[in-house]
Amino acid sequence: MTRKLSGGSLVIATHNSGKLKEISALLEPYGLKCLSAGALGLPEPPETGTTFVENALIKARAAAEASQLPALADDSGLSVDALGGRPGVYTADWAQRQWFEGEPGRDWYMAMGKVEGMLQQLGSDIDRSAAFHCVLAIAWPDGEHATYEGRCPGALTWPPRGALGFGYDPVFVPSSRAGEETFAEIDPQEKHRISHRADAFAKLVADQFGA
């Protein structure tokens, strides 16, 4: 039987205020007070895993051990069938720019272009199937843990379309909207309803709170 969260405080293993706000809103109905790892001054551990599950657990375990509170972390990314599942856990790394005038950063158009260039090298009739993945991991200070995996299948398009999303959203058309809008063209509320993160959260809520 999966261990249950029983109210009280939950550390969200992120330094991103937007992600904290989003996750806090989803968990608020279940009596959990969400605190961010950033607000607690916790360091970000190196993500050395080779799977989404491994990286989510690395972050959740580090936050739980440092705070001595239950912690929730997520790891997500894009996998492209024709590229053997890449970029996978390196989804964000493919957007990493070189240091320029002392400022690191990410260029998502560059990342989308890299994926498209690799697909074009494989031929015009290549399978463009892809999926976004999300793993949510809960860890307790004593080492116990639970994971929940979400997936949103779809296909890649080119050129990028839309300005509502982020990351690879402008080139990803979810299967539920086949031939229509990319994630960057869909209303954010609709995207949240059908996304890989929504799938993972639905599984977490069902398991943890019986909803």
| Catalytic machinery residues | 75
Q: Report cis status (omega within 30 of 0) of the bond before 43.
A: no
Residue 73: which of 93, 58, 95, 85 has the closest Cα? 58
Pairing of strands 8-12, 32-36: parallel
Q: Contact 46/20 with Cβ under 8 angstroms?
A: no
| CB contact at 8 A, 207 and 149 | no
Q: What is the DSSP string of 42-65?
A: PPPPP---SSHHHHHHHHHHHHHH
Q: Which structure tokens are listed for 28?
A: 């608020």
Half-sphere exposure of 8 (CA within 13 A, CB side): 7
Strand ranges in the chain using DSSP code E only, listed in sequence order: 8-12, 32-36, 71-80, 129-139, 145-156, 172-174
Phi first, then psi, for residue 153 (nearest 5°) are -80, 155
